[in-house]
Amino acid sequence: MYNPLDPATLENPYPVLAALREATPVFWHEGMRSWTLTRYTDCVAVLRDHQRFARDRRRTGAVVPEPSLSVQSLDPPDQAPVRSLFMNALRAQDLEAIEDRGRRLLAARFEELTGQGPFDVMVEIAAPLALAVISDLLGVEQPDLHSFAEISDRIMRSMDAGLDPALAEPGRIARQQLTALVESWFTVSSRPGLLAHVRQHADPAGGANLDLFVRNTARVMFQGGYSTMVAALGNAVHTLLRYPDALERMADPNLLRGGVDELVRFDGPVQGTSRIATEDCEVGGTAVRAGETVLALFAAANHDPEQFPRPAQLVLDRASNRHLGFGWGTHSCIGTVPAQAALRVLVQALLDRPARLHAAGAPVRRRTATMRVFDRFPVVFDA
């Protein structure tokens, strides 16, 4: 049976997922109480059909606590005004300037780290860059990195509370701390940025509900955006150390844009997402009953050879690379563009540095099913 926390699977999930896709592409996972999908076409079919596959658990009779109601947990039509408010606010930001500030930050960091001996990619590169980019984007004062990283980690780990109930309570407390931080941004007059744009453009006729969804979405965006970027940056460094020629080739600007996207397909952070069937139906030839959970495994779909020829190879100029690393459909990632910018900042900083980065010990994967991320990743700059 598939165990996402098995050490060999954590190290490299793709062979296990390929074997499952071959043998039983749709299977019931008792531990996760879900129909698990490993084929690209099945995952897309579920994600695009929000009528029959709900994200909003209220549609299947569940009670969802108010703090959990955000763009991520609502479905159309409730989701639409919140999602477009945030999407429009994102489009109004000067993303090139944010990318530029990220580039300068990383160049200065690399300068400090060169000649210093071994250091941890996650602590010294991924976390500071992700926090700087997300704070800059939202237009909020950057919180203290160390304490925010702890809050975010507890929240992230609690997403696995279904597999380990002891993670739920620390996650709940961390969520309260995050709420207090985000609320503080709504009490002061905001500086320019995404949040200020959202506050200025939120339709007052939306009332208290819209206000609640906006605050909750700001929280999801800040913490979710930070934690996925940290994970994606760590995974990208790992892949680029394995394939140094790919890094060199990304000096070509034509390969840089598509290349960072291929890094997300190849070994992205978000392992999957779930939906609940609103009626009896069929997925990939398997009967699913109303109320049952369906888990679209992005990690499996992104390596499906039917969709991605040579899935185990990093192909920087892969044609029509419509991977699911940023999701699909009405819940696809709102932060795709800034996330890709952060990955470009990383790749360019690595290319610009005359010293080369090397592994300085075995990296350690976090024992978590939902997010593929390193806990520790020691490296060193040569000479």
Q: Where do the H-state alpha helices sit in the chain?
A: 7-11, 14-23, 40-48, 79-91, 95-113, 121, 127-138, 145-158, 168-187, 194-201, 207-242, 244-249, 253-267, 298-301, 336-352
Give the interface segment with ligand HEM, choosing from 33-41, 121-129, 217-225, 360-368 (CB under 6 A).
Answer: 217-225
Q: Contacts with ligand HEM in 82-121 (CB under 6 A)?
A: 83
Q: Contacts with ligand HEM in 135-154 (CB under 6 A)?
A: 137
Query: Rule CB under 6 A: is residue 273 a binding residue for ligand HEM?
Result: yes
Query: Rule CB under 6 A: is residue 229 a binding residue for ligand HEM?
Result: yes
CA–CA dist 28, 283 (Å, integer): 12
Give the interface segment with ligand HEM, choosing from 36-44, 179-187, 196-204, 268-276 (CB under 6 A).
Answer: 268-276
Q: How far is CA 32 from CA 86, 124, 206, 283, in A?
A: 32, 34, 36, 18
CA–CA dist 261, 265 (Å, integer): 6
- Residue 119's H or E segment, with its range, is strand 119-120
Query: Rule CB under 6 A: is residue 338 a binding residue for ligand HEM?
Result: yes
- Residue count at the site for ligand HEM (CB under 6 A)? 27
Give whichever of 171 and 268 is closer to ligand HEM, judged by the CB atom.
Answer: 268
Give whichever of 198 and 221 is closer to ligand HEM, judged by the CB atom.
Answer: 221
Rounded to the nearest angstrom, the gap between the alpha carbon of residue 157 and the centroid of all alpha carbons in its chain is 14
The CB-of-224 to ligand HEM minimum distance in angstroms stands at 5
Rounded to the nearest angstrom, the gap between the alpha carbon of residue 343 and the centroid of all alpha carbons in its chain is 13
Which amino acid, one-letter code, is at 137? L
The CB-of-232 to ligand HEM minimum distance in angstroms stands at 3
CA–CA dist 19, 38 (Å, integer): 10
Query: Rule CB under 6 A: is residue 225 a binding residue for ligand HEM?
Result: yes
Which amino acid, one-letter code, is at 213? F
Among 81, 102, 224, 259, binds ligand HEM (CB under 6 A): 224
Give whichever of 264 and 288 is closer to ligand HEM, judged by the CB atom.
Answer: 264
Q: At what angle do helices 207-242 and 336-352 cross, to 10 degrees?
A: 30
Give whichever of 16 and 232 is closer to ligand HEM, judged by the CB atom.
Answer: 232
Angle (CA) 195 197 201, round 5°: 120
Query: Rule CB under 6 A: is residue 193 a binding residue for ligand HEM?
Result: no
Instruction: Name every residue whose Cβ is closer than 8 Å to that of residue 244 and which is 6 or more positions away in sequence.
Output: 356
Among 326, 374, 377, 381, binds ligand HEM (CB under 6 A): 326
Look at strands 378-381 and 357-359 and give their pairing: antiparallel
Per-residue mark of binding to ligand HEM, 353-382 (x: CB under 6 A): ------------------------------
Query: Rule CB under 6 A: is residue 20 a binding residue for ligand HEM?
Result: no
Query: Rule CB under 6 A: is residue 125 a binding residue for ligand HEM?
Result: no
Query: Rule CB under 6 A: is residue 25 a binding residue for ligand HEM?
Result: no
Q: Return the DSSP state at 279.
A: S
- Residue nearest to ligand HEM according to CB distances in the complex: 335
Give whichever of 114 and 135 is closer to ligand HEM, judged by the CB atom.
Answer: 135
The CB-of-298 to ligand HEM minimum distance in angstroms stands at 6
Query: Rule CB under 6 A: is residue 334 a binding residue for ligand HEM?
Result: yes
Among 268, 295, 297, 371, binds ligand HEM (CB under 6 A): 268
- Check if the beta carbon of residue 129 is closer than 8 Å to that of residue 102: yes
CA–CA dist 102, 51 (Å, integer): 40
- Check if the beta carbon of residue 171 is closer than 8 Å to that of residue 158: yes
Tell the residue number behind the tokens 């597999």, with chain if given: 163
Per-residue mark of binding to ligand HEM, 41-80 (x: CB under 6 A): ------------------------------xx--------
Give whichever of 10 and 333 is closer to ligand HEM, judged by the CB atom.
Answer: 333
Q: List interacting residues with ligand HEM (CB under 6 A).
A: 71-72, 83, 134, 137, 220-221, 224-225, 228-229, 232, 264, 268-270, 273, 325-327, 331-335, 338-339
